[in-house]
């Protein structure tokens, strides 16, 4: 490889690892309770979760359709607050759609995130791939 290309490659790697602060705009959605009592919503995944702020009610089941919009990059969805009824860890392969179900039992605000990472680069979470479940 020509020395110049190596230089560019190193520069690109450094830029990736240095990492700016990622500021992700908040998109909030309050899930409606259907007639059968289930709160349904959908979240799409590219490099982030859309929406990234879900508002639900405690004590009623939630069904979330997680839809990957990527062609190569795998993601996951981790929401672990067992004492609040939340114990979800689901892989969402590139282009796949997965439905997760849980029933939040305790009001509060809980963080969900993707912990995937490529080699030594920052994790998706560190690059802003996280969101909040607000339980009312
Ligand atoms: Cu991810």
Following DSSP, what letter does each residue of the chain receive, concatenated?
--HHHHHHHHHHHHHHHH---------EEEPPBPTTS-EEEEEEESSSEES-EEEE-TTS-EEEEEEE--SS--EEEEEEEGGGTEEEEEEE-TT-EEEEEE---S-EEEEEE---B-TTSPBTTTTT-EEEEEE-
What is the tally of structural domains in the chain? 1
Distance 92 CA to ligand 1 centre (A): 9
pTM of the entire predicted model: 0.84
User: Which bin fits 128, alpha (ψ -120 to 50), beta or left (φ > 0)?
Assistant: left
Model confidence pLDDT, tens digit, residues 83-133: 999 999 999 999 999 999 999 999 999 999 999 999 999 999 999 999 999
Distance 40 CA to ligand 1 centre (A): 22
CATH of the domain at 124: 2.60.40.420
Model confidence pLDDT, tens digit, residues 28-72: 999 999 999 999 999 999 999 999 999 999 999 999 999 999 999
Is 132 within 8 Å of 111 (Cβ atoms)?
A: yes
Distance 127 CA to ligand 1 centre (A): 9
Within a domain: 64: yes
Within a domain: 102: yes
pLDDT value of position 9: 56
Within a domain: 26: yes
How far out from the chain centre does Cα 43 lie? 8
Distance 4 CA to ligand 1 centre (A): 32
Distance 89 CA to ligand 1 centre (A): 12
Within a domain: 2: no
Range of the domain at 37: 22-135
Within a domain: 6: no
Within a domain: 14: no
């Amino acid at each position: 490889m020509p020395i110049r290309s190596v230089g560019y490659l190193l520069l690109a790697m450094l830029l990736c690892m240095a990492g700016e602060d990622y500021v992700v705009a908040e998109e909030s959605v309050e899930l409606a309770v259907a007639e059968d009592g289930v709160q349904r919503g959908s979240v799409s995944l590219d490099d982030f979760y859309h929406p990234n702020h879900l508002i639900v009610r405690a004590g009623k089941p939630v069904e979330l359709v997680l839809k990957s919009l990527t062609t190569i990059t795998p993601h996951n969805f981790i929401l672990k607050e067992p004492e609040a009824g939340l114990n979800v860890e689901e892989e969402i392969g590139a282009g796949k759609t997965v439905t997760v179900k849980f029933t939040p039992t305790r009001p509060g605000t809980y963080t969900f995130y993707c912990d995937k990472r490529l080699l030594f680069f920052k994790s998706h979470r560190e690059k802003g791939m996280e969101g909040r479940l607000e339980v009312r």
